[in-house]
Amino acid sequence: MTQTQRLDTARLEQLAALRYFLLDMDGTLYLGGNPLEGAADFIAYLAESGRNRLFFTNNCSVDAAQYEKKLGKMGIPAVRGDILTSGEATVRYLLNETPYRRVYPLGTPSFEAELIDAGLRLADEEPDAVVLAFDRTLTYAKLAKACAFLRNGTPYIATNPDKVCPTETGYIPDCGSMAALLFESTGRTPKYIGKPNPEMVNMGLQKLGGEAAKTAMVGDRLYTDMQMAYDSGVASILVLSGETKDADVREASRQPDFVFDSVKTLHAALKDADGA
């Protein structure tokens, strides 16, 4: 569904006017440990054309330092300040918007370390809140303890609603699927902090020093990446290299501003727009 050749002059002008890019990673720039074709060239072109970018992900199973290394191995230069994860957003929310300081996390050791580094305490008994993340180390014991806390009314926060995480070998359960399991056991649903929460865009724009009217969200999911773009007033650019497929777009109640096969074809369209 490449749209590079379908953009009229007005659409090209709209694309050329974008100066700030919030970039999803899983399914957009890479799958698992493998970069998607054209990803490094696209990132390089953003820099060459004077555009700012922020790597923007709901996957907080690793922290910004590890993403920095991962992107670097793919030929994509980044420093920690270039990356905003739903884990960082959740930590900011806990510290700035709640009194919760003792938390019971369902998350990877990396996510637990991120909580501790921010001054939060991990609590196995009587926590102030249960915090659910994309947990590749999830165990039945963790689930059972979380269910007990949730049935007792403990506040419940989750980093993101993504149902699956795309990898080079297929999709694996993400935080949203784990939340569905807990819902079936407790009847509780969490407050989600990451995409599609518009507050993620506000955090991103603060980091970039950008304005919504000149900003685009680039991602592969309709229900997180694109929904957040709609709700926050930034341009929505969908790529079909991850979870969302052509048929999903046709059936969607709202269409993104732009749809491309991948960031490679987005790159080509952006070059065309700049030269128009």
Q: What digits encode the pLDDT tens for the residues 85-129?
A: 999 999 999 999 999 999 999 999 999 999 999 999 999 999 999
End of a domain among 157, 192, 227?
192
End of a domain among 171, 192, 213?
192
- Residue 131's closest CA among 168, 163, 162, 100? 100
| Residue 68 within a domain | no
Kindly indicate the confidence band of residue 168, based on its pLDDT and cuts at 50, 70 and 90. Answer: confident
Whether 259 and 236 have beta carbons less than 8 Å apart is answered as: no
pLDDT at 3: 46
Kindly indicate the confidence band of residue 23, based on its pLDDT and cuts at 50, 70 and 90. Answer: very high
- Residue 71's closest CA among 17, 27, 29, 129? 29
| Residue 74 within a domain | no
Strand partners, 238: 219, 259
| Residue 83 within a domain | no
Q: What angle do CA 191, 60, 209 make, to 5 degrees?
A: 85
| Residue 73 within a domain | no
Strand partners, 103: 122, 129
Write out the two tokens for 211: 């304005």
The domain of 256 spans 4-58+195-275
| Residue 70 within a domain | no
Whether 109 and 38 map to the same domain: the answer is no
End of a domain among 141, 163, 192?
192
Domains: count for the chain: 2
| Residue 255 within a domain | yes
Alpha helices in the chain (DSSP H): 9-16, 39-48, 64-73, 86-97, 109-117, 140-151, 175-186, 199-208, 227-232, 246-251, 263-275
Q: What angle do CA 164, 114, 105 make, to 5 degrees?
A: 60
Average pLDDT over residues 36-62: 95
Whether 71 and 55 have beta carbons less than 8 Å apart is answered as: yes
Pick the more confident residue, 18 or 34.
18
Whether 162 and 183 map to the same domain: the answer is yes
Please give the model's pTM, rounded to 2 decimal places: 0.86
The CATH number covering residue 109 comes to: 3.40.50.1000
Whether 201 and 183 map to the same domain: the answer is no
Kindly indicate the confidence band of residue 276, based on its pLDDT and cuts at 50, 70 and 90. Answer: low
| Residue 158 within a domain | yes
